Amino acid sequence: MLTTLALAIATTVSGANLLKNGDFEDHAAQHCKDSWCIVSDSAIAPWQLVSGPAVEVDNTPWKAYSGDWSMDLCGDVPYTIGQTVALTPGDAYTLTFMLNENYCGTYNKTGFVSATGSPQQVFFHNSAQFAGKWIPVTYQFVATDANTQIQIGSTTAGSCGPVIDNVILVDNGVAIANNGQQKAKGGKCTSKKVNVNKGKDKDGKDDKDKDDDDKDKDDKGKDKDDKGKDKDDKGKDSDDKDNGKGKHDDDDDN
């Protein structure tokens, strides 16, 4: 009875996350007793490994955006995870997640997000621009398949990759075609499309919860910051190079 009731409520709440274990909290602790671990995808079920040898779940190397765990999408090498969800073809969906980076390695961490039948979208996090901050990534698509696989993967070589947390997928209702034709479908409210704001509220709440914890982390993180200095310097070099290039293009240096 209670379960049925809970389900009924969950499905009527607009903007409910269609993904399971989007926060990577459900099983990671059972599979990882250390600060971070390279393990099988049972640690993130029902997410599965789509390509690559193993996944990495991370607890204390940095602070997760929410909960205790996040994922560096490079274990020893880059990998891709996926989760298959039942979607309504023709509905518009918004996938959001929070992105950070494992600060070692190359300073610009790149990856991609995709859904079956839709073009993939590239994302990146570079230490020069974002300096260890969690940034939101938004991917919008119209479902073409009742069984859609969401994939998120690293395209960064090596063992230090983009880090993700808090993956949320919401149904925005029937997509409006570009030519103005609207697929008739039970009069679903198309204003649902503006669900993006709900996501923002949610994020805002999380941020508030986190503020206190973040302070702890900043202190703890000092070692890390010091270690990171070499890397930051590298980042600055690259920045300088970039600026140089940018200027080079605009100015008549040569």
Strands 80-86 and 121-126: unpaired
Binding-residue pattern over the window 31 to 70 for ligand NAG, x denoting contact by CB under 6 A: ----------------------------------------
Name the segment binding ligand NAG (CB under 6 A); options: 79-87, 122-130, 144-152, 185-193: 122-130
Q: Which is nearer to ligand NAG, 84 or 126 (CB)?
A: 126
Cα separation, 55 vs 72, in Å, equals 8
126 binds ligand NAG (CB under 6 A): yes
Binding-residue pattern over the window 232 to 251 for ligand NAG, x denoting contact by CB under 6 A: ----------x---------
Which phi-psi region, left, alpha or beta, contains residue 171 (left: φ > 0; alpha: ψ -120 to 50)?
beta
| Contact (CB, 8 A) for 21 and 47 | yes
Q: Which of 17, 83, 102, 110 binds ligand NAG (CB under 6 A)?
A: 110
Q: Which is nearer to ligand NAG, 30 or 243 (CB)?
A: 243
Render the burial of 166-199: b for 16+ CB within 10 Å, e for the rest. Answer: bbbbbbbbbbeeeeeeeeeeeebeeebeebeebb
Cα separation, 72 vs 83, in Å, equals 17
84 binds ligand NAG (CB under 6 A): no
83 binds ligand NAG (CB under 6 A): no
124 binds ligand NAG (CB under 6 A): yes
122 binds ligand NAG (CB under 6 A): yes
CA-wise closest residue to 101 among 55, 156, 48, 143: 156
Chain positions contacting ligand NAG, by CB under 6 A? 108, 110, 122, 124, 126, 242
